[in-house]
């Protein structure tokens, strides 16, 4: 038997509800994050990228102020061993993670995160730049990059970083012998400085052999593109089975009603 008008109405209502809930982007959503090292061949590499989809309250550092343990744990070695727990403490419902490994010039890597697009509308990131003693990329303002609007729509396609966006944490003094990727990173001398923009110091590593066996050559000027983080919504595979299940439920309900009517 063909579904009757009442069934068709129920089906339409059920599908409308599903389509509406999808259009309103009910959280959670899956977001693919792609990171690319755009620096010239033989120039800077990057340690793994630490990220958090968040509510805009975790602020890891401030330009012109002394770096604290969380950002130092990124800048001096890349581990983020204090950055991640500090983030979790400041914003317990954030979706945090770490993307990729050593990212050499020309390389890229992607990872998918499940994000509450109403609760965590902002994106924060931090990665060490190598070779260096304490250089990193990251957002000073925790609300600098808004990914979702108040309806949950993805509104930011990518974040670009230029050489002029690279930070010196001001915590470890310049010394190639104590620098990650070209020296013994475990060594350090206090710089007792503040966080500031700095990419020109990277030239000081020119000619040294990196841990990835290329001879470092900075080649960077202020306007050089060095990094890109791109965001893309991933269609949820659950949507179709969910709709099918709803449809079957409505049809089953209708069939049962007809059977009951026939038995009366």
177 phi-psi bin (left φ>0, alpha ψ -120 to 50, beta other): alpha
Residue 178 within binding range of Ca ion, rule CB under 5 A: yes
Binding flag, residue 188, Ca ion (CB under 5 A): yes
- Selected binder of Ca ion within 30, 42, 140, 211 (CB under 5 A): 140
Please report, as residue ranges, which positions from 46 to 75 form the binding site for Ca ion (by CB under 5 A).
59, 62
Nearest distance, CB of residue 186 and Ca ion, angstroms? 7
**β-pairing verdict for 135-138 and 196-197:** unpaired
* Segment near Ca ion (CB under 5 A); pick from 46-54, 86-94, 184-192, 227-235: 184-192
- The rounded distance, in Å, linking the Cα atoms of 244 and 188 is 60
Q: For the chain, how far is it from start to end, CA to CA, in angstroms?
A: 19
Report the nearest approach of Ca ion to the CB of residue 188 (Å): 4
Q: What angle do CA 68, 74, 75 make, to 5 degrees?
A: 80
Shorter beta-carbon distance to Ca ion: residue 42 or 143? 143
Q: Which is nearer to Ca ion, 7 or 83 (CB)?
A: 83
Q: Candidates 36, 91, 134, 165: give the one binding Ca ion (CB under 5 A).
A: 134
- Taking the complex as a whole, the smallest distance from the CB of residue 244 to Ca ion amounts, in Å, to 48
Verify binding: residue 165, Ca ion, rule CB under 5 A: no
Q: Which residues in this chain contact Ca ion in the complex, by CB under 5 A?
A: 59, 62, 134, 140, 168, 178, 185, 188, 191
């Amino acid at each position: 038997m063909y579904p009757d008008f009442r069934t068709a109405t129920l089906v339409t209502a059920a599908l409308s509800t599903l389509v509406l809930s999808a259009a309103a982007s009910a959280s959670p959503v899956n977001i693919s994050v792609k990171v690319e090292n755009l620096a010239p061949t033989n120039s800077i590499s990057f340690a793994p990228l630490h990220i958090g989809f968040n509510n805009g309250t975790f602020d890891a550092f401030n330009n012109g102020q002394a770096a604290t343990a969380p950002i130092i744990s990124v800048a001096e070695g890349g581990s983020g061993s204090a950055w991640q727990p500090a983030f979790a403490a400041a914003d317990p419902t954030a979706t945090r993670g770490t993307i990729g490994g050593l990212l050499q010039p020309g390389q890229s890597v992607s990872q998918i995160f499940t994000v509450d697009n109403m609760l965590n509308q902002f994106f924060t990131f931090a990665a060490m730049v190598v070779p260096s003693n304490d250089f990193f990329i990251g957002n000073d303002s925790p609300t600098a990059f808004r990914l979702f609007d108040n309806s949950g729509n993805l509104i930011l396609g990518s974040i670009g970083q230029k050489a002029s966006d690279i930070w010196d944490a001001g915590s470890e003094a310049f010394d190639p012998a104590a620098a990650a990727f070209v020296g013994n990173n475990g060594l350090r001398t206090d710089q007792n400085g503040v966080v500031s923009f700095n990419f020109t110091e990277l030239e000081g590593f020119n000619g040294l052999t990196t841990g990835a066996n290329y001879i470092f050559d900075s080649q960077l000027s202020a306007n050089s593109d060095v990094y890109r983080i791109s965001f893309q919504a991933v269609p949820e595979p659950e949507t179709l089975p969910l709709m099918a299940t709803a449809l079957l439920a409505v049809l089953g309900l209708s069939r049962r009603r007809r059977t009951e009517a026939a038995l009366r």
